[in-house]
Structure 1
C-alpha cells in the first residue's frame, strides 16, 4: 500500500520479520553512530554525580587499548545473542562454498572480502555469526573480523566488537593473528575500506583493489592462505546521496581520520521508501578456493604483484561464475576496479580542489 508516495509495510507483517528489521536497523545504527553517542554520553556523565564512572571507563579504554592487536577478547555470551540470528535471517544472508573448498585446521586463512558496501553485512553475517555454513562444517576454525582501528577507541562499541570477535586491521594485529603456530584461525578483512564505501550503490560492482596490496604483503609475510570472498547483494542494501559538497566532506574526513561516511537511503521500520535500515535483499557470500601462500619474511615487489594479480584473477572468476545464480541481470553486470579519484571525478571536482587533500591526477 502507498500513501503520499510512501510504500508502507502492512500492519499484518509477522512479528519475526519485525524483529529482523529491528535487528538490522540496530546493527547499522550501532556501528555507524553508536560510538559517537557513547562519547557524548561519557561527556554528559562528567557533569553529573556519576562523573567517576566516565573517568574509570576512560582509564579502562586506555589500559585495554592493546587488546585489539593481540587477538582480541571474544565473548561466547555476546556471540550467542539472538540479535545476530535475526540479522542473518533479515536479508537472509547465506554462505556459499565453491566446489572443492576445503580448510586445513592446522593452517591460518586470510579472507579478502568484497565489496565493502556501506557497512559489510555479508561477511559479518556469513563468516562470523554462529550457525553459519562455514562454522557448521569447520567448528574448530575461529574466524575473526578486522574492522578499522577507530572502532576500538570508541566507548561501548569497542566492547561489542571485541566480544563478537573483532581485532584491529593494523599490520601488527593481522600478523599476530595469522602467525598463530597452532593454526585454525581465520581473519576476515575488507581491503576496499572507506574508499569503496563511496562506490556503494545498487548495480555498481566497483572495487577499490587495483592499488590495495597491503593485505597481500601480510599474507606473504605470514604464510596464511589467501581466500577470495565476494558477497552478492551487498551493494543493493542502500543507495546513497552523491553531491560535490558531500564528496568534499567525505574526502576531508578520509584524509583527517582515515574513514569516511555515506548518506544512505535504505528502508524504514514502517515503510520501505527511505530510512537507515538496510533493504531486505538476499545476501550470498561466496567463499572461493584458498590460494596457498609460501611464507616469505621480506617479500619483493614482484612477489607481491604476482600474488595480487592471482587474487584478482580468482576474484573476477568467482564473480563471473556466480553472477548468473545471484544477480538479476548477470549479462549487464561487470566487475570494475577503480580508486577514490574516479569517484571525485564523477562529482565534477577540479584539480584545484583535489590538491589540498593530497590527490593529484
Structure 2
C-alpha cells in the first residue's frame, strides 16, 4: 500500500518477519548507543544505589584484571558459545537473509587473515557471518578458531564491553592482531582465522547502492603483518552489502566530506547520513533494507615469512593481493549481482 509516495507494509505480515525486523532494529538503534548507556548505567549504580554499587566496585576490579583480554586472543569459546548462537541472531541473519559461501577448503592447521570487503555502512555481512554461529562458519571451516576484529574502543566501556567480548571479537590494535597471527589457538582448535575489514570507517563513506568502492590501495599494513608471520591472505567479499542503505554521498575534497573526515578522526566513527526503511513502511528510516547479502570466501594467497619485509616486498605482495581480489570479484559477481556486466570493482 502506498500513500503520498510512502510504501507501507501490509497488515498481515507474518510474525516471523516482524521478529526479524525487530532484531535488526535493535542492532541498529540500541547497540550503537550501548556504550552511552554503559556509562549512564554505571553512574546511576554508583550514585543512586546502596547495595549494587559495591558489586560494581568488584566489577571494576574484574575490568582491571581483564583489561588486556581484547589484545590477547579474546574470550574462550566457553564464554561465547551461547551468545553467538541464539534465536536473536537467527532472526537477525534471516531478515536479509545473510548467506556464507566458501569456494575452497582451508587447511585447519594454518593461520589465515581474512580481508573483508566492502565495509558498507555497518558491515552487516561480515558481522553476521563471523560474529555469530548462525551461518555455521565453524562447520564450514572446521578446526579453525574465528576471531573478528572490531574497534578497540568498544572494549573500554563498562558493562557494554561484555557485548563484543561475548561474540568472540578482538580489538583492532596492532598488539591484538600480532597476537592472533603469532600465537597458536587453544584446544580444540588447530588453526585460526582473523577477520579484518581493512576499509574501516572511511570505506563506509564510499558506500552507494549498486557500487563497490574499496579503500585498499593505501592500506598495506595487513600485507606487512601477513609477511611478518607468514600468514595466508584470503579475500572475503560481501555481495549486496552496499545495497542495504542509501546515503548522502559527497566526493573526496568536498566541504561535507572534510567535515565527515574531521568527525571520524575525532571519534573513530564515520558520520554518514544514510537511509533505509522504517518499522511499518519501506520508503525511509534507519533499518537496513530487506535485501540478500552473500559473503563469499575466496582462495588463500600464501605469504612467505619475512621477519622485516622491505617496502618493495610489501608492495609486491600487496599488488598480488589486489590482482587476486579483482579476479575473485569478477569471477563471483555474476552469481550474486544483478546486471553484473555493468558493475565493476573500484579501488581507491
Give the CA deviation at 1:86. Answer: 1.3
The question of whether the paired residues in 2 share the 8 Å contact of 1:21 and 1:90 is answered with yes
Partner SS, residue 269 of structure 1? coil
The corresponding residue for 2:178 is 175
**CA deviation vs aligned residue, 1:114-165 (integer Å, no higher than 9, x gap):** 0011111111222342242542233322111001111111233321111111
Matches of 2:42 and 2:272 in 1, distance apart? 25
The question of whether the paired residues in 1 share the 8 Å contact of 2:117 and 2:238 is answered with yes
Which runs of structure 2 are paired with 1:122-201 in the superposition (5 Å)? 122-181=125-184, 183-201=190-208
The corresponding residue for 2:303 is 293
Residues 146 and 290 of structure 1: is their aligned pair in 2 closer, same or farther, counting only changes over 3 Å? same
Partner SS, residue 35 of structure 2? helix
Task: List runs of 5+ in structure 1 lacking aligned partners.
Answer: 339-361
The corresponding residue for 1:91 is 96
Are positions 1:14 and 2:14 aligned together?
A: yes
Moved more, 86-95 or 56-65: 56-65
The corresponding residue for 1:65 is 67
TM-score normalised to structure 1 length: 0.87
Partner SS, residue 314 of structure 1? helix
Give the CA deviation at 1:320. Answer: 1.1
Give the CA deviation at 1:245. Answer: 6.4
Are positions 1:25 and 2:30 aligned together?
A: no
Matches of 2:30 and 2:231 in 1, distance apart? 31
The corresponding residue for 1:325 is 335
Give the CA deviation at 1:95. Answer: 1.4
Residues 17 and 56 of structure 1: is their aligned pair in 2 closer, same or farther, counting only changes over 3 Å? same
**CA deviation vs aligned residue, 1:205-263 (integer Å, no higher than 9, x gap):** 11110100111111111211110011110001111234666534422222223332322
**CA deviation vs aligned residue, 1:28-47 (integer Å, no higher than 9, x gap):** 23442221232233234444
**CA deviation vs aligned residue, 1:150-208 (integer Å, no higher than 9, x gap):** 11112333211111110011121111112223541111110000110111121231111
* Correspondence for 1:218 among 214, 219, 225: 225
Residues 174 and 296 of structure 1: is their aligned pair in 2 closer, same or farther, counting only changes over 3 Å? same
Aligned residues: 336
Partner SS, residue 48 of structure 2? coil
Residues 133 and 26 of structure 1: is their aligned pair in 2 closer, same or farther, counting only changes over 3 Å? same
Partner SS, residue 279 of structure 2? coil
The corresponding residue for 1:76 is 81
Matches of 1:237 and 1:167 in 2, distance apart? 26
Matches of 1:166 and 1:62 in 2, distance apart? 19
The corresponding residue for 1:238 is 245
Residues 267 and 209 of structure 1: is their aligned pair in 2 closer, same or farther, counting only changes over 3 Å? same
The question of whether the paired residues in 1 share the 8 Å contact of 2:102 and 2:140 is answered with no
Give the CA deviation at 1:51. Answer: 4.8
The question of whether the paired residues in 2 share the 8 Å contact of 1:30 and 1:157 is answered with no
Matches of 2:211 and 2:341 in 1, distance apart? 13
